[in-house]
Amino acid sequence: MSLLVQVSHHSRLFFQPYAYNIMNNITIHYSFSSHKCSEEFNLQLDAETLEPIANGDDPEPLPVWAKLDYEQCPNCPLTAETHPYCPLTANIASTVVRFENVTSYDEVQLEVTTSERRYSQETTFQRGIGSLAGLLMATSGCPHTLFLRPMARFHLPLATEEETIYRATSAYLLSQYFKSREGDEPDFTLNNLHALYKNLQTVNTAITRRLRGASETDSTINGVILLSIYAKNMPLVIEDSLEEIHYLFSHAPNDARGECCSLSVIELNGLACIHQ
């Protein structure tokens, strides 16, 4: 299956401050099309906080299985008094009920559109739903998925396991760089990332139990299970010193000493080339 990525003709790959983005919301549109169903999801995020923005319609009542104390995660720090509903489940509840007539391996044409580009691929419902669920979970406000929220800004639909490993570790190390800059103790050894993914694995297992009581078909459940597999594998990858992607850096220079130089960007046929 090939993945088509179309870059918007409005895009310009210049290195500019991101301040202008904060003036606009981030919109990510998912479109599922098959002979069994066609569904559209339009997710809007606050450009600064990356929190979901309500569409203005009256929200549908949440189901019983979205209550916090229904199959509550054993590592959940929230209480029913302050959070009657699980924030993660509340964020994916409307998605679950819209895929009752499909099964995991039914084929679907998936299109994901952002302001920068459009992705199009023929895939299975479980992969497409898993991709959407990953985005909804990262932006839900669940305490155990907050560390994933920055990746929502650069959402990559249908990411492979290797891509997920690369993006997750890169985002985490960047967050540690900012911690260091602010005077806090950074974790450049990824020790805490291991713990974060252990907690995420527990969350995915509990969410799967919730969905088993809510969904009549397996497509949504298996989409979350795919995410759980990634979460389960991540601590193992970290323990193995990220050997799975080590080869990417085998030719990287060990030392980058030299005089500082200025960088400029030249636009060439819609692409950006960096030269010194």
Q: In this predicted model, what pLDDT tens digit does every residue of 117-155 receive, in sequence order?
A: 999 999 988 889 889 988 999 999 999 999 999 999 999
**pLDDT the model gives residue 109:** 97
Name the pTM for this structure: 0.78
CA 210 to chain centre: 20
Phi first, then psi, for residue 117 (nearest 5°) are -165, 170
**pLDDT the model gives residue 130:** 86
**pLDDT the model gives residue 271:** 41
Overall size of the chain counted in residues: 276
**Mean pLDDT over each residue of the chain, to the nearest integer:** 79
**pLDDT the model gives residue 173:** 95
**Segments in the chain below pLDDT 50:** 8-21, 258-276
In the numeric block, which tokens belong to residue 86? Answer: 């699980």
Cα separation, 53 vs 25, in Å, equals: 9
Cα separation, 34 vs 89, in Å, equals: 26
Q: Can you state the angle between helices 219-239 and 125-138, rounded to 10 degrees?
A: 70
**pLDDT the model gives residue 255:** 59
